[in-house]
Amino acid sequence: MARAFSPKVVTANALLEGDVIYLTADGMWVRDMSAAALFTDEEAANAALASVKGDNQLVGPYLFDAKAGENGPEAVHFREDFRRTGPSNYFHGKQADPQA
C-alpha cells in the first residue's frame, strides 16, 4: 500500500553563502522558512522540485515533510529545524540574530 502524501517544503543551500533557503509560492528563494510554500499536493511538490533542479545558484534541492504552523510552515523532523538554525558550534550569522 502506498504511503499517504504529507505536506512538503522545497529546500536547498545557496551556492555562494551556504545558507539554507526555501522556495516560496512565487518561485523565489528565501532564508525564512515561514515564508516558504507549503505543498499539500504531491504532484505540485514534485513539479516545484523539478523546476529548480537545474538552478546553478543552489546546491542539493529536496523536499522535506512540514506542517502548517501559526507563522507558516514548520518542520516535522528535527533535522530540518536544526538546518534552519545553522551551525551549532558557536553563535554567528543568523544564530546571533534573536529572531532566528
Q: What is the pLDDT of residues 53-68, one digit of tens each?
A: 988 899 999 999 999 9
- Kindly report, residue by residue over 28-85, the tens digit of the pLDDT: 999 999 999 999 999 999 999 999 998 889 999 999 999 999 999 998 887 787 677 6
| Residues 3-8, mean pLDDT to the nearest whole number | 90
Up-side HSE of residue 17: CA atoms within 13 Å toward CB?
10
Tally Cβ neighbours within 10 Å of residue 100. 13
DSSP E strands: which ranges in the chain?
Answer: 8-14, 20-23, 29-30, 58-69, 72-75
**Given a cut of 60, is residue 100 above it in pLDDT?**
no
Angle at 88 between CA 86 and CA 92, to 5 degrees: 65
Contacts with 22 (C-beta within 8 Å, 6 or more apart), sequence order: 9, 10, 11, 29, 30, 31, 32, 33, 35, 36, 37, 73
Per the DSSP assignment, residues forming a β-bridge with 75 are 66
